[in-house]
Amino acid sequence: MSFTEPAERVALREAVAGFAGDYGAQYFQRKARAGEYLTELWAAAGKLGYLGVNLPEEFGGGGGGIGDLAAVLEELSAAGCPTLMMVVSPAICGTVLARFGTPEQQQRWLPGIASGQSILAFAITEPDAGSNSHNITTTARRDGADWLLTGRKTFISGVDVADAVLIVGRTEDAATGRLKPALFVVPTDTAGFEARPIEMDLVSPDHQFGLFLDDVRLPADALVGDPDSGLLHLFAGLNPERIMAASLATGSARHALSRAVAYANEREVWGRPIGAHQGLAHPLAQVKVELELARLMTQKAAALYDSGDDAGAGEAANMAKYAAGEVAVRAVDQAVQTLGGNGLASEYGLGAAIATSRLGRIAPVSREMVLNFVAQHSLGLPKSY
Ligand SMILES: Cc1cc2nc3c(=O)[nH]c(=O)nc-3n(C[C@H](O)[C@H](O)[C@H](O)COP(=O)(O)OP(=O)(O)OC[C@H]3O[C@@H](n4cnc5c(N)ncnc54)[C@H](O)[C@@H]3O)c2cc1C
């Protein structure tokens, strides 16, 4: 049993931190405000092997685990570059395809995901179903050997930069009742595939879209794996998603905390640094404690997942996502307070972080749904909904 990361993981973190430092928060903010993507960072990170560190070596990946990919995302986020598409493309889509894709699907998509040349988006959320995934209605029906896919999705990240979307739907013979999902890889240039941007109050290079699918024709091999095992395929992507979302949040919290600490050490208004006042020092110390607890739980979740313990990883990943989402909100809030007026000045980028820090409480699963999970599964309390 060890509470420290192996030397290779530590070296990976140092290398990514050095790499990300060349881009930093200013690059991220500039791109986000110009409505542009992090194209240069993404391409360079892919070349260095950072984006596919969790994917099998035979497809150009690093052969590591989700713990390695989570370390990459945490370091990028800590440097001020919290890229949402790492949660989606290599972690969810890469994992699902590596574990359950057909050899053709793996050959078609995994090398590009690993190198960063292809990006895959992921679509499960629907406007009417929301947190209740059992109510999704996107349905695929057979037409000869093809599939015809119809439905609506909302808040789908990165469709503008994606080559394909991994869409969670149902087959016609399981169109109602408890979710029996079927996953389809849908290239974004497929005829009839329509994505409309959703205007968000987030300063982010990752944009959100509504998807409108009306009898979109897909070849038979668009279906991932065995349609009777869709739930297994979906769940394979959900733990990595939560671990990665937690890492994005802890990295963002680290970024905000370091900005606040640097400022508190320098700024003097009563003849000594403002960080000497306990009114500022204690809340920052509290953030540090909660941050390290969240990081520890995230690392535990990743270690369980990488050891093959999906059930154990599920509880830990939910708890990690909860703790990380909470500390990200608290870190940004306290950082803004520490910087006074500068906390809301564009130059420091913290005002914009107020909105983005809330994301970890809402997606990929809301704080309340995590608490429902813990109440029901960890504590054995009755299901409330
Ligand atoms: C920036 C951003 C990016 C996103 N990217 C993606 C993506 O790439 N792909 C994708 O598929 N989805 C994506 N999402 C969607 C995200 O996963 C959902 O927003 C999230 O799951 C919550 O669903 P909802 O918005 O429909 O909220 P709702 O389900 O309507 O919930 C609203 C509120 O009610 C609460 N609530 C609901 N049910 C219960 C209950 N039983 N008990 C207690 N409280 C409850 C929720 O916690 C929440 O506070 C993204 C969202 C955002 C904001």
Q: Which domains does the chain have, with CATH numbers?
A: 7-119 (1.10.540.10), 122-226 (2.40.110.10), 230-378 (1.20.140.10)
Which of 243, 228, 113 has the alpha carbon at shortest distance from 166? 113
| Residue 176 DSSP label | S
Cα–Cα dist 169/150, whole Å = 9
Ligand 1 proximity of 138 Cβ (cutoff 6 Å):
no
Q: Length of the chain in residues, anyone?
A: 385
276 pLDDT exceeds 80? yes
154 Cα: distance to centroid of ligand 1 (angstroms):
10
Cα–Cα dist 209/196, whole Å = 5
229 pLDDT band (50/70/90 cuts)? Answer: confident
384 Cα: distance to centroid of ligand 1 (angstroms):
18
Which of 221, 198, 225 has the alpha carbon at shortest distance from 210? 198
Ligand 1 proximity of 168 Cβ (cutoff 6 Å):
no
Ligand 1 proximity of 171 Cβ (cutoff 6 Å):
no
Cα–Cα dist 14/71, whole Å = 10
49 Cα: distance to centroid of ligand 1 (angstroms):
32
Ligand 1 proximity of 364 Cβ (cutoff 6 Å):
yes
Report the predicted TM-score, pTM, of the whole model to 2 decimal places: 0.97
367 Cα: distance to centroid of ligand 1 (angstroms):
9
Instruction: Give per-residue pLDDT as tens, 318-355.
Output: 999 999 999 999 999 999 999 999 999 999 999 999 99
Q: Tell me, what's the pLDDT at 231? A: 87
Which of 120, 272, 268 has the alpha carbon at shortest distance from 187? 120
List of residues 6+ apart from 30 with CB closer than 8 A? none
Token match 């991932």: residue? 224
Q: Which of 366, 367, 376 to mutate to test the pocket of ligand 1 (most atoms within 8 A of CB)?
A: 366
% the chain with pLDDT above 70 = 100
Ligand 1 proximity of 55 Cβ (cutoff 6 Å):
no
Q: Which of 86, 120, 125 to mutate to test the pocket of ligand 1 (most atoms within 8 A of CB)?
A: 125
Cα–Cα dist 247/71, whole Å = 7
Q: Tell me, what's the pLDDT at 175? A: 74
Instruction: State how far the alpha carbon of 112 is from the alpha carbons of 62, 106, 115, 280, 349, in Å.
Output: 13, 10, 5, 46, 32
- HSE value, Cβ hemisphere, 13 Å, CA-based, for 214: 4
Instruction: State how far the alpha carbon of 106 is from the alpha carbons of 91, 184, 219, in Å.
Output: 14, 13, 16
273 Cα: distance to centroid of ligand 1 (angstroms):
41
Q: Tell me, what's the pLDDT at 279? A: 98
Atom of ligand 1 nearest to the CA of 208: 3
CA of residue 58 relative to chain centroid, distance: 25
Q: DSSP for 300-328?
A: HHHHHHHTT-HHHHHHHHHHHHHHHHHHH
Average pLDDT over the chain, rounded to an integer: 96
Atom of ligand 1 nearest to the CA of 153: 11
% the chain with pLDDT above 90 = 92
Ligand 1 proximity of 88 Cβ (cutoff 6 Å):
yes
Q: Tell me, what's the pLDDT at 323? A: 98
Instruction: State how far the alpha carbon of 271 is from the alpha carbons of 151, 275, 276, 281, 341, in Å.
Output: 63, 12, 10, 16, 19
370 Cα: distance to centroid of ligand 1 (angstroms):
11
Cα–Cα dist 259/339, whole Å = 9
Ligand 1 atom 6: the closest Cα is on which residue?
Answer: 156
Ligand 1 atom 2: the closest Cα is on which residue?
Answer: 155
Q: Tell me, what's the pLDDT at 177? A: 75
Cα–Cα dist 368/361, whole Å = 9
130 Cα: distance to centroid of ligand 1 (angstroms):
6
Element (H, E) at 246: helix 230-266
Ligand 1 proximity of 368 Cβ (cutoff 6 Å):
yes
Asked if residue 167 lies in contact with residue 218, where contact means CB atoms within 8 angstroms, the answer is: no
Q: Tell me, what's the pLDDT at 240? A: 97
Helices (H), 267-381: 278-306, 310-338, 350-357, 359-362, 367-373
Ligand 1 proximity of 92 Cβ (cutoff 6 Å):
no
Instruction: Give per-residue pLDDT as tens, 96-141.
Output: 999 999 999 999 999 999 999 999 999 999 999 999 999 999 999 9
Q: Tell me, what's the pLDDT at 385? A: 87
63 Cα: distance to centroid of ligand 1 (angstroms):
32
Element (H, E) at 10: helix 7-21
List of residues 6+ apart from 100 with CB closer than 8 A? 224, 225, 226, 229, 232, 233, 236
Ligand 1 proximity of 20 Cβ (cutoff 6 Å):
no
178 pLDDT exceeds 80? no
Atom of ligand 1 nearest to the CA of 121: 8
